[in-house]
Amino acid sequence: NAGVTQTPKFRVLKTGQSMTLLCAQDMNHEYMYWYRQDPGMGLRLIHYSVGEGTTAKGEVPDGYNVSRLKKQNFLLGLESAAPSQTSVYFCASTPRQGVADTQYFGPGTRLTVL
Amino acid sequence: AQSVTQPDIHITVSEGASLELRCNYSYGATPYLFWYVQSPGQGLQLLLKYFSGDTLVQGIKGFEAEFKRSQSSFNLRKPSVHWSDAAEYFCAVTHGISGGSNYKLTFGKGTLLTVNP
């Protein structure tokens, strides 16, 4: 049981390039989330998904797209990377959307946009 | 709007000393509160959570937190800090997303804990 995994761990992009971050969970969780973490800002929600085939915007969605074609995978895409998207990206999942449910986090992807 | 404030950006304590990390929340209804810890280069791990019942909550690694509704606080404590506790600590509150039954976490900005030998 690997929990929540993220691919890749590190990436450097040039401005305007595109890339996709992959989040995978093997816990059969319904809900998945993408956050970004910036110094002094805590974690901010980018997009989330309440089930296979559904996605919704979070707090800071601009410049990102997501897809949840399979229950276990949640992809975060950057179509045209900008330096402001330099950040550490975390994926998380919960079994359901209960108010007290714990979110399980992946190890993060450190992205640098030059 | 819901918010979480962690007043201390960085705290330094000596190994063996007691620790208290502060967290204040702003939320109109009953909050559901969490403390997460992030070790260097790692993802976040849940320490403890409060959603009802006893206001003193026990967590992993010897941590506890007390919910005080009158002070809108959920401070994290540990009687004796170990060097391995050096990490960043995040307080978070769950609240409903308007118009739906989905909930999302709002995080504080974190408190970085340094432990001196």
Q: What is the 3-state secondary structure (H, E, C) of chain A?
A: CCCEEEECCEEEECCCCCEEEEEEECCCCCEEEEEEEECCCEEEEEEEEEECCEEEECCCCCCCEEECCCCCEEEEEECCCCHHHCEEEEEEEECCCCCCCCCEECCCEEEEEC
Averaged pLDDT for residues A20-29: 95
Say yes or no for a CB contact (<8 Å) between A56 and B43: no
| A10: closest chain B residue by CA | B41
Q: Has residue B11 got a pLDDT over 70? A: yes
pLDDT digits (tens, 9 = 90+) for A41-62: 889 999 999 889 999 999 899 9
Contact (CB, 8 A) for B13 and B115: yes
Give dist(CA A96, CA A103) in Å, integer.
Answer: 10
Residue A29 has pLDDT above 60, yes or no: yes
Q: What is the pLDDT of residue A101?
A: 76
Token representation of residue B31: 């909050």
Strand, helix or coil at B69? helix
B105: nearest CA in chain A?
A: A45
β A19-25/A4-7 pair status:
antiparallel
Question: Of A31, A50, A90, which is closest to B43 when you measure between CB atoms?
Answer: A90
CA-closest candidate to residue B19, choices B108, B107, B84 = B84
Which pLDDT does position B29 carry in this prediction? Answer: 72
All structural domains of chain A, each given as residue ranges with its CATH number in brackets, are 4-103 (2.60.40.10)
Q: For tokens 């967290």, what's the residue?
A: B23
Does B10 contact chain A (CB < 8 Å)? no
Domains of chain B (ranges, CATH numbers):
3-116 (2.60.40.10)
How do residues B50-108 score in pLDDT, each as one tens digit? 987 888 999 999 999 999 999 999 999 999 999 999 999 999 988 665 544 556 788 99
Mind telling me how many Å the CA of A4 is from chain B's nearest CA?
A: 10
Bridge partners of residue A54, in order along the sequence: A51
Q: What are phi and psi of A71, to 5 degrees?
A: -55, -35
Give the model's pLDDT for residue B105: 83
pLDDT tens figures, A59-107? 899 999 999 999 999 999 999 999 999 999 999 998 876 666 788 999 9
* Token pair 């709007």 in the structure block, residue: B1
Residue in this structure with the two tokens 């059969």, named with its chain if needed? A28
Residue A110 vs residue B30, higher pLDDT: A110
| Cα angle: B87, vertex B88, B92; to 5 degrees | 140
> Confidence class of residue B47 from pLDDT cuts 50, 70 and 90?
very high
- Cα of A3 vs its chain's centroid, Å: 15
